[in-house]
Amino acid sequence: MSSKVMFLSILFFSLAMQPVSGYWLNMRNSSVTPDSLIYIRYESSKTEEADHSLKYFNGLNWQALVPDTLTIKTFQAAVPYDNQSILSLSFRVIHDSTVVFSAGYLETATPYSLDKMTLIKDYSLDGDIVDHLNINAESIVLTEDRINFALTNFGGGFPVRESLLGPFYSYTVSFWHTDKEEPEYVYALIRTVNLPPFISTGLYKIDPSDDSMELLGDINYEVNEEENTLFLSCDISDLLADEDFAKGFQQENSIYIGSMTQKIEDFGNVVTVQDQGQYHLMFLDEFNIEPFVNTTPKITDVKFEDFGDYSIISMTYIDLEGHFPILAEVITDNNTVYTLVPEKLNFKDPVAFSCKIYDEWSWAEIRISDNNSDIIKVPVHFTLVQSQKEIPDVSLNIYPNPYYMSANLAQDLHLDVETKEDSFFNYEILNIKGQSIYRSPQMSISEGTSRQIIPADKIKTQISAGGVYFIRTKVNNHIYTIKFLLIK
């Protein structure tokens, strides 16, 4: 076996040993709150061992936050933001077997520093591995034209040889497309000794089908001994010039990444892996938020449907900046709060929201805000819509209508309810805003016509102004409404 074939065999055996699982979706943001926070939400698979973090670049370094768990799949973090500069974000989910993450994007990564890198994974010290070959951590950051990696060890620098005759050392970061179970090609940044015909430092395309290695371009490398870190970077144009990489890059938004250190002896005839990191799944999506001028969201198509046992309030949310609402709820006249649930999570387009209400209510208010400050309030009246279910025949009649009331003259108000079966019944008087003025206790009525008398003194006590009023009746959990005019 040639030395190059041996190198490739070790590389691919290492990469094939580890599984990958888990990712997140629907990264979205709110507007900026008065206390200079912007809320970030996303969905991800939730397992007990998964460790979620979200990072943001504050202009000097990357800061990590632990998101709150809103539901079993939805996570949220509040990120400081002054809305004056570009906010760069990345996120990470750590599983037992791998890390799923997005690389942060910055305008520049030089001069190289770990402060500008987003951490992929840190490892514990293995006492059986010499310090300079023992991988302590892996980091990455992307810029407009370069991919920048960092490998951190436990000291001793990053030597590529011990003497003129060896042994020699190599430090490798590899990545490949996720469209196939077995990689068709692997791309690698390798820092090692210049040892023709074995290998030299550079950016390589590796073909496992014939164990060939093609040099695609140079890489930049720099050692920071204070940080025990080797920085490796390549020009993205060198990768995109390769037809196979460019094709996969257009089709996939993710790549696998792995790192490895090797010891090379007998001029390449003996190659042994000294350490290797887990391999990880990196999404290439760029999560940057640019400064914006916020506009107030709009609420349209407010609807209400009553189904007897429950009712549904729905509406359409429109935000020109694509911000999700931090506050999206319905509060009823019973002071019960219900969460409005979106039908989709892409807020760049209009989004329908709805909530299901099981309690009795006469009046409700939709409350929406994308910044926790400017709250849009839309009233909803129960009296506007009748039940949508198939219901028994019921007829209502109220007299006198109009109803005249004065200090010297008043008469009782009569409500006739005709049903085709014995029923449970109660009624409620509502003003034009849908607010409850009086509610009767529940009673039983027999088949046929039942007359309810609302005494004049009760009307005088409860109603102080003339105008349009409603009597809402509930017959066997079905709602019927009749309107009357009160003249004073």
Q: Over range 277-285, report the average pLDDT.
A: 85
* Distance, CA of 415 to CA of 429 (rounded, Å): 11
* Distance, CA of 422 to CA of 476 (rounded, Å): 9
State the pLDDT at residue 4.
Answer: 46
How confident is residue 10, by pLDDT bands cut at 50, 70 and 90?
Answer: very low
pLDDT at 60 over 90: no
Q: What is the CATH number of domain 394-487?
A: 2.60.40.2550
Q: Where are the domains of the chain?
A: 3-289, 298-384, 394-487
Q: Over range 373-394, report the average pLDDT.
A: 67
- The fraction of the chain above a pLDDT of 90, given in percent, is 40
State the pLDDT at residue 211.
Answer: 77
pLDDT at 407 over 70: no
Residues facing 150 on adjacent strands: 139, 231
Fold of 298-384: Immunoglobulin-like (2.60.40)
Q: Over range 232-258, report the average pLDDT.
A: 88
Whether the Cβ atoms of residue 410 and residue 456 lie closer than 8 Å to each other: yes
| Residue 270 backbone phi and psi in degrees, to 5 | -125, 115
pLDDT at 3 over 60: no
pLDDT at 472 over 80: yes
State the pLDDT at residue 471.
Answer: 86
State the pLDDT at residue 279.
Answer: 80
* Distance, CA of 467 to CA of 398 (rounded, Å): 16
Token reading at 404: 């005249």
State the pLDDT at residue 46.
Answer: 57
Token reading at 195: 């040892």
Q: Over range 70-83, report the average pLDDT.
A: 91
Q: Over range 283-294, report the average pLDDT.
A: 89
State the pLDDT at residue 181.
Answer: 66
* Distance, CA of 360 to CA of 356 (rounded, Å): 12
Sign for the pseudo-dihedral over CA of 153, 154, 159, 161: negative
Q: Which of 438, 437, 433, 430 is nearest to 472 (CA)?
A: 430
* Distance, CA of 473 to CA of 482 (rounded, Å): 8
Sign for the pseudo-dihedral over CA of 240, 244, 247, 251: negative
Whether the Cβ atoms of residue 12 and residue 88 lie closer than 8 Å to each other: no
pLDDT at 1 over 80: no
